[in-house]
Amino acid sequence: MCRTRFSLFAWAVVGLFFAAVPAAARLAWQGDALVTDQGQRVGQVVCSHAPGFSVQRRMKAVDRSTYRVEWTFTALQTVSDARVEVGFVHASPAAWWMIPSVSYNGNRWGRGKEPKGARTDGGWWTFSYRRTPLPGAVYSEGAGFAVATWGDVPRHEDEDFSCGIMTEKETTTHRLLWPEEEQPQSYTGRDHFEKGWQRRVTLPAGAKRTLSMYIHVVPVELEHRAIRGFLDCAWKLARQPRMKTPDKKTVWDLGIRYFKESLWAEEGSYRGFSIGLTLDREGRWTQRRFAKYEAGWCGQNISVACSMLWDYLQRGDRTSLEKGLATLDCWADHCRLPNGLFVVQYDAILSGRPCRLDACNLGTAAVNYLEAYELARQCGADRPQYRQLAYDICDFVVNDQQANGCLARGWTYDGECLFREGTVGAFLIPALIEAYRSSKNMKYLTSARRAYDYYVTEIRQDGYSTAGALDTWCIDKESSISILRSALLLYRLTGQKEYLDDAVHTSYYLSTWLWHYDGIYPADDQTTREHYHTFGATSVSTQHHHLDPYACLWVPQWFELARITGQRQWREKAEAIWRYCCQLISDGRLTLNGHIRPAGSQNEAFFESVWGLGRGNGDAPAASSSNRINDWLVAWPGAFRLETIRKMNKKL
């Protein structure tokens, strides 16, 4: 209660402060300085460079809040170590800042060892533009104004650049630097750093280099809502690539094939699907031999089983019905616990060694079992235990919920809470809402709304969500998906506009993880050879800097949001995500990294920067790579595509 009172009081004070800022202040340039029509100095552009350059600058208004500033540097002589930097010095300390997908207010939350703060003892952090969903994007909120900056997408790899932010006592500097560098260290793997690097470029006399910065300035808003303007502008400016995407029937057929032909597993009492394929020492695809069977998250057994039932209803394939029911029966018969909890890793049943019962898997299992109950009835199979299993999970959650609405990250078998920190508990909210819709029991809806209020308040105030990616402990995108889903479910139930506003608010946060451009790579890079596009991808977390198709899971929500709000961008973004998610699905003949991939399979990760590739001794990394596309053919991308299709189409 004290926490809530303080929060409301604090935000009231902040609101009074922001009210003093002109809501529609007109901006103008006076030389290098950006000022309001009342003469208030917002900031100024700056540039620095190695000796031997002349500089020409041009400014252009993109819209009433956004400017494109272009610097052209001409070498007056041979410059052996060409280096330039441009920036915008925001005339205010940063109260909150972000390098999208890289750092949210310095990444102070969590136990991970990803880059923290704006600097280390060795100096200010700089990051390759490739790590950010808008090239080199930096955002800061000061005493009155919010500033966002980003660059143009390079036309070829020798234009690659980096970005950074300097948060000082009186100013905040947004930086773009060419050529590309990462200093003072380079984050090259989970919790792993190597020596920083800078590319070395020699320019002959007369050579030119151009570096551009978009500068977006608006009054600060409560709950970090000022990010909306620059994300709207950036999306309008984004150039969407032309991509050939397989039709949904082909995607569906290949997905079903992959699960039936490559991931079906029978081991002891287990009947269900493997978590994925890896290469053995002889270069053969084999089902992973550890952490093999999972209800949700990466394994997605219950969702895949629902897709099998849906496949039977669409096409009459009895093998789909048999495998779907066998999977659902297996988990329901062996994984239910007396207290209502559910064993989410079947390996624990086979080995007798208990696992953690996490909210992500539990919430997914409950939602999918409620759907499975209805699908099974349509298939002519009465399975009341599916629905009861979901109710039992929800009953446990209701009884375990804290007075402030908080749920938990996970439990032991006997119901002891392991952790409550983070947003992971939000994965249980859609399950509670669906349990109410199925049973009409108000206790589920009451619990769901209390939990929703708790977790949505976190994302509003903190500006981020946390720890949904269960192999990390950091700021991420995955846990906020449940906030988006819950907001739209509650809006459908109540018609209350604040839920719709929350869905929009959360969608803007999710957009800070969404790639708005295609990265440019050398001709011999795997990306170029495979015609791979990064547009529509999402980064995993601040601890895992690689791209994946996880955003497929919220495609239906963005189509729904576009329909309700009339805002076309959500449909456009959903379509971009779907196109990205359908790249390099094997037809059974696709060869990548020297191996033919099974039909319907798709890798999990794409390494867009040096993260995940490894480097060595601090020299600049090679511009091209032959292993950006990994060989982990995990279950969840295919499961998410199937789930998206079955939720958006009544028939194939």
- Examine the domain organization and report whether 527 and 482 are in the same domain: no
* Residue at 13 is within a domain: no
391 versus 23: which is more confidently predicted?
A: 391
Confidence (pLDDT) at 10:
38
Domain shared by 483 and 354, yes or no: yes
399: domain CATH number? 1.50.10.20
Residue 173, helix vs strand vs coil? strand
Name the helix (H) or strand (E) containing 458.
Answer: helix 442-462
461 exposure class (CB count in 10 Å sphere: 0-12, 13-18, 19+): middle
Instruction: Let me know whether 481 and 530 are in one domain.
Output: no
User: What average pLDDT does the segment 461-475 reach?
Assistant: 90
The DSSP call for residue 126 is B
Measure the CA–CA gap between 515 and 187, rounded to whole angstroms. 20
- For residues 88 and 43, give the distance between their C-alpha atoms in angstroms, rounded to a whole number: 7
Q: What is the Cα–Cα distance from 600 to 579, expressed in whole angstroms?
A: 16
Which secondary-structure segment (H or E) carries 104?
Answer: strand 103-104
- State whether 31 and 180 are in the same domain: yes
The verdict on residue 523 lying in a domain is: yes
Q: Average pLDDT of 311-328?
A: 97
Reported as a pLDDT band with limits 50, 70 and 90, residue 652 is: low
Backbone angles phi, psi at 502, to 5 degrees: -65, -40
Same domain, 107 and 66: yes
The verdict on 441 and 362 lying in the same domain is yes
Last residue of a domain, one of 494, 529, 549: 494
Convert 200-218 into a string of H (helix), E (strand) and C (coil): CCCECCCCEEEEEEEEEEE
Query: Are residues 204 and 228 both part of a single domain?
Result: yes
Chain-centroid distance of CA 213 in Å reads 25
> Domain for residue 231, yes or no?
yes
Q: Can you give the residue range of the structural domain that contains 369?
A: 336-494
Reported as a pLDDT band with limits 50, 70 and 90, residue 2 is very low
Total domain count, the chain: 3
3 state DSSP class of 55: strand
Residue 501 lies in a domain: no
Distance CA 443, CA 515 (A): 40
- Mean pLDDT for 48-71 is 96
Burial 304-313 (b: 16+ CB within 10 A, else e): bbbbbbbbbb
**Statement to judge: residues 222 and 273 lie in one domain:** no
With H, G, I as helix, E, B as strand and everything else as coil, classify residue 588: coil
Q: How far apart are CA 308 and CA 260, in angstroms?
A: 9
The whole-number average pLDDT for the span 280-290 is 96
Q: How confident is the model at residue 616 (pLDDT cuts 50, 70, 90)?
A: low
pTM of the model: 0.94
375 & 466 share domain: yes
Would you place residue 617 in the very low, low, confident or very high pLDDT band (cuts 50, 70, 90)?
Answer: low
Q: Last residue of some domain: 237, 266, 283?
A: 237
Task: Report the run of H or E that residue 562 belongs to, with start and end.
Answer: helix 555-565
- Give the model's pLDDT for residue 335: 98
The verdict on 286 and 227 lying in the same domain is no
Q: Quick one: pLDDT band at residue 443, thresholds 50, 70, 90? A: very high
Position 461, amino acid: Q
Residue 552: Cβ-neighbour burial (10 angstroms; 0-12, 13-18, 19+) = buried
Task: Please state the φ and ψ torsions of residue 410, each to the nearest 5 degrees.
Answer: -175, 170
Cα(256)–Cα(25) distance, rounded to whole angstroms? 56
Q: What is the mean pLDDT of the chain?
A: 94
Torsion angle (degrees, nearest 10) of CA 21, 27, 29, 30: -50
Residues 33, 180, single domain; the answer is yes
For the chain, how are helix, strand and coil distributed in percent, rounded to 5? Answer: 40, 25, 40
Span 540-564, pLDDT tens digits? 999 999 999 999 999 999 999 999 9
Q: What radius of gyration do the chain's Cα atoms show?
A: 25
**Per-residue tokens: 545:** 């800097």
Taking residue 505's Cβ as centre, other Cβ atoms within 10 Å add up to: 23
In this structure, the answer to whether residues 129 and 39 fall within a common structural domain is yes
In a domain, 160, yes or no: yes
Residue 209 lies in a domain: yes
Q: Is the residue at 500 inside a domain?
A: no
Q: For 485-496, what is each residue's pLDDT tens digit?
A: 999 999 999 999
DSSP 552: G
Domain-located, residue 17: no
Q: Quickly state the pLDDT bin for 471 (edges 50, 70, 90).
A: confident
